[in-house]
Structure 1
């Protein structure tokens, strides 16, 4: 691993800890507000905490990241001997995280390339891993940033939620507002498009929605080599069987990971989330 180039991301990448450790990735934690408490994702608040708070109809929101949090990560990289940083983050359409990173980058003593992945979850995580692979081959700052952008640009995120209510409250549904009203009585399928959460299809039951989610992933995967992550929030009983079916049905599957989303994304989607990230190699 070249010592002169650091990688930074945020906690919504939901990378396996093994990958974070292996590649030496700095993960900046974001925050969730539960009631009046500002809590750090993965440190002070867990996915279970958020799911329980939402079920209890407590107010759960996310807070705007402080640029100083990113500035501290960039300073730490410089102090460790890095001569540049590639900082890859969740979609700027969904969060102020990229903006905070760019504000910090402007004051950094070493060059920082901030990459808006226009994705979230492991769709962001795979972009970070692509950057790590490019760095391992000795590529420079701009080339490593470009590798992250390319992987993110090829990736897809499909997801099912039990209700649009949490997305509506958080203002994260973009043109899915058009689904409100009738959509609250059905089971919506959504996807990431242009960095935003957009409606894809409306299905009448949860079982049909999950079956359709599976079909969409299989169709999109085709025959090429792909990595797949199945995300969920308080829905492991749905996620594990879906992952096993995809293992059997996606011919070019290389790596398959099942992981719960954290508090930040959980705050906006609610318990019952089932999502699939598809990242062609």
Structure 2
């Protein structure tokens, strides 16, 4: 039987246990704290990022280079893979997908790459959709299509205490960030067509989290879904939200509760809470 490997990047927010169980290879993004670069996941932790941001230590991120992906693809071929499906975060947010595409051109086996136009758990759900198709005997092309459809149908929403960190990283415009700060509002954001877009502002964190819950329920539309609640230094908020959503969503699996990866956390800041709602696998 053909052996096809699914690859993603660490922004997909897949736990080590989930990735290993699915056979997904995770390529780490780089997190730069001060003058030191770390691999996300194995070296840089969300706690390190939150502490650095609170201390005003410079934090930035960078993509894995094409050579890193080239090594991953070559290793897959050496281990007997016949193809790779490589599923990555939005190209509007990172050059990771571009690195994967460049490496794919010189890979010793066919590599199909996907820019999910998503970030965080939605990218992880797309990768898991590809695995599900391959486990049923589907082709790499069918797996890629399933990943694309699930990413397109997923909703990524998040609350941040301030837009300042997104402004610093160029993920939202200065005007939007200034508006949020000037009015002392609490912004809600979502991923639209691969970019971060503010879509609602309320006056308090409590109201913001309540609205986040309502939007997540609306996104599910009464259909079976999987969901992840992620946070950066906001565990109590995330746990409370996950509990309420468990009661209100038709879940195909228990809600995943996790800290947001260090690379994404560097751009949203402490106190962030995110919800991703993805359609259940067929």
Taking structure 2 as the reference length, what is the TM-score of the superposition?
0.96
Q: Secondary structure at the match of 1:134?
A: helix
Deviation at 1:180, TM superposition (A): 2.5
Q: Deviations over 1:74-120 (max 9, x none)?
A: 01100110010000000101000000000100110100000111111
Match of 1:179 among 165, 169, 176: 176
Residue in structure 1 matched with residue 30 of structure 2 by the alignment: 31
Tell me, in whole angstroms, the C-alpha distance in 2 between the residues paired with 1:159 and 1:3.
39
**Cα deviation 1:168-194 (Å, max 9, x = unaligned):** 000012xx5442322112110000000
How many residue pairs match? The answer is 277
2:194 aligned residue? 195
Aligned to 2:252: 254
Residue of structure 1 in register with 2:55 after alignment: 56
For structure 1, the residue ranges without an aligned partner over 5 or more in a row are: none
Unaligned runs of 5+ in 2: none
Match of 1:245 in 2: 244
Give SS of 1:146's match: helix
- Written as runs of structure 1 = structure 2, the 5 A alignment for 1:1-281 is 4-173=3-172, 176-184=173-181, 185-250=184-249, 252-255=250-253, 256-281=255-280
What is the SS of the residue equivalent to 1:271? coil
Structure 1 residue matching 2:207: 3-state secondary structure:
helix
Q: By how many angstroms is 1:18 displaced?
A: 2.2
CA contact (8 A) 2:28 2:64 kept: no
Distance in 1 between the 2:105 and 2:189 partners?
35
**After superposition, what is the alpha-carbon deviation per residue over 1:244-273, rounded to whole angstroms, capped at 9, x for unaligned?**
1000011x2112111111110011011111
C-alpha distance in 2 between matches for 1:279 and 1:85: 23
Once the two structures are TM-superposed, the CA of residue 4 in structure 1 deviates from its matched residue by: 1.7
Query: Stretches of 4+ moved more than 4 A in 1?
Result: none
Q: Does the residue aligned with 1:104 lie in a helix, a strand or coil?
A: helix
So what's the TM-score if we normalise by structure 1?
Answer: 0.96
- Aligned residue for 1:92, secondary structure, equals coil
Q: Which deviates the most, 12-21 or 263-272?
A: 12-21
DSSP 3-state at the match of 1:50 = helix
RMSD of aligned residue pairs (Cα, Å): 1.1
Deviates more, 1:76-85 or 1:176-185: 176-185
Residues 117 and 194, structure 2, Cα contact 8 Å, conserved in 1: yes
Is the partner of 1:180 in helix, strand or coil? Answer: helix
1:181 match: secondary structure:
helix
How far, CA to CA, are the matches of 1:16 and 1:249 in structure 2? 25
Deviation, structure 1 residue 44: 1.7
Deviation at 1:16, TM superposition (A): 2.5
CA drift of 1:3 comes to 5.1
Task: Provide the rounded CA distance (Å) in 2 between the counterparts of 1:220 and 1:29.
Answer: 30
